[in-house]
Structure 1
Amino acid sequence: MNPDDVKALVEAGFDGADVAVEGEGDRFLIRVVSDAFEGLMPVKRQQLIYACINDRIKDNSIHAVSLKTFTRAEWDKAQKMGIA
C-alpha cells in the first residue's frame, strides 16, 4: 500500500477530517484532525481509525500503524506550541 491509499481509506470514514499519512510498504504514521474526536478517550479515537483500515490489516496490506489524533482545537494548540 502507499500513503495515498491509506489516506483514502481513513478519509472515507471521517467527514471533513484533515488526514495525513506517512510511510511505505506496510508501516504507516496516520494523523487525523477531526471534531469527531471531541470528548473521546484516546482508545476510542484509535478504534474509529482502525475501523477504517481493519480490512487492510486483516489481509496484511498494513502491518503496523502509529496514530495521532486531534480535535481541531487540540491541533491548533499543538501547532502553536510547536509540538504538532
Structure 2
Amino acid sequence: MAITALEIENLIRESFPSAKITVEGDDGQHFAAMVIDESFRGQNRVQQQRAVYAALKGKMDGSQGELHALALTTKAPE
C-alpha cells in the first residue's frame, strides 16, 4: 500500500505541530523530508531523527512498511 507525501507530513505534524515541514516524493515509496522545529534545539542529529521516525508510527518498519525510504534532514530554527 503506497503512502503520500501529505500523509507523511500529517504524521510528522501530529508530533511536531509547530514545525516547518517539507516532504517531497511522488513514487509512493521514496521521499525526502525536512523538519525544522524548536524542540530539536540542544539535541544531536541522531536524537532529532529518532524523534521524527517515532512520529511515523511504524510506517517504515521492515519489509512490510508503507514507506521504503526517507531522506531526512532535521534542525532547530536559526
TM range (shorter): 0.7 to 0.9
Distance in 1 of aligned mates of 2:65 and 2:76: 29
Aligned partner of 2:5 in structure 1 is: 3
Q: TM-score when scaled to structure 2?
A: 0.87
Matched pairs, number: 73
**2 CA distance for matches of 1:66 and 1:50?**
11
More helix by share: 1
Structure 1: 4+ residue segments shifted above 4 A: none
More moved, 53-62 vs 38-47: 53-62
> Per-residue CA shift, 1:46-83, capped at 9, x if unaligned?
0000001142112421011111112111xxxxxxxxxx
TM, length-normalised to structure 1:
0.81
Unaligned runs of 5+ in 1: 74-84
| Corresponding residue to 1:34 among 37, 45, 50 | 37
Bigger relative contact order (CA 8 A; separation at least 6): 2
8 Å contact 2:9–2:23 — kept in the other structure?
Answer: yes
RMSD of aligned Cα (Å):
1.1
What do the CA deviations read for 1:3-41 (whole angstroms, capped 9, x no partner)?
Answer: 000000001111311111001211110100100100000
Asked if 2 retains the 8 angstrom alpha-carbon contact of 1:26 and 1:63, the reply is yes
Say if 1:13 and 1:52, in contact at 8 Å, map to a contact too.
yes
The structure number with the bigger radius of gyration is 1
Matches within 5 A, 1:13-24: 13-24=15-26
